[in-house]
Structure 1
């Protein structure tokens, strides 16, 4: 089984780099218990301290980490971040599910024209897909 789950590229991610008060908005690519990958419009040196926020549910997922790789990809950069601290593992699992549910909600709106609340989308997603979600 893969260590990271691929997520739709429409899941927003906010981050702040090191001591510099820079707040950027980009998009999540994948997330796993040890870290995540996201796309960025700027390159980041390895070793840069980073604070991550994924604001798609309450409470907002927050984690501190370190940039461990950064590679150009088309017109952006893919950035790999290793989380610091084991307390983020439960939060990561919740974010994985919330990302899938939010993408489901947006897909249903686009394809069927139904504007589901987050709770309605969660109930439908759980009935249809929870059994296939890795434990």
Structure 2
């Protein structure tokens, strides 16, 4: 298995919950070319499977990913995560777009929240990395 060639960079301002999985998902085949990079407070060894969620954005949105690299950098660890199915990669890409929209919305008054989301989608969504999705 080769590591992904490109990684979406998760913004530090949106907290993710990382839950180790007891066993690998049954849909394991090969790694897709687009992964996810994020900072974590603690280590997660290469080969560990994680269930990722963003409680501040959605209570029921989860993604399974494989840790391909974990490096210690000062007060945190940088994880590189890979996806093995198009569905999980699509979900990760959707989560990262939701994070970017949330950050964009925070720069304006609350009453303009929906307008800001539509603005971000109109200007940025087409340029968001997809690597063949």
TM-score normalised by structure 1 residue count: 0.68
Q: Which residue of 1 aligns with 2:16?
A: 13
The higher relative CO (CA closer than 8 Å, separation ≥ 6) is in 2
Aligned ranges for residues 1-135 of structure 1 at < 5 Å?
A: 3-19=6-22, 34-58=34-58, 60-106=60-106, 108-109=107-108, 114-116=109-111, 118-130=113-125, 132-134=127-129
1:49–1:96: structure 2 CA closer, same or farther, 3 Å change rule?
closer
Provide, for residues 59-85 of structure 1, a one-character-per-residue CA deviation record: whole Å limited to 9, x for no partner: 743221221111011211111222232
Alpha-carbon distance in 2 for matches of 1:90, 1:104:
21
1:124–1:71: structure 2 CA closer, same or farther, 3 Å change rule?
same
Alpha-carbon distance in 2 for matches of 1:72, 1:8:
18
- 8 Å CA contact 1:44–1:70 kept in 2: the answer is yes
Q: CA RMSD in A?
A: 2.9
1:94–1:59: structure 2 CA closer, same or farther, 3 Å change rule?
farther
1:127–1:15: structure 2 CA closer, same or farther, 3 Å change rule?
same
Gaps of 5+ in 2: 23-31
Q: How many residues align?
A: 118
Alpha-carbon distance in 1 for matches of 2:46, 2:123:
40
TM-score normalised by structure 2 residue count: 0.68
Name the SS of the counterpart of 1:71 in structure 2.
strand
- The structural deviation recorded for 1:18 is 2.7
Alpha-carbon distance in 2 for matches of 1:16, 1:52:
6
Alpha-carbon distance in 1 for matches of 2:125, 2:20:
35
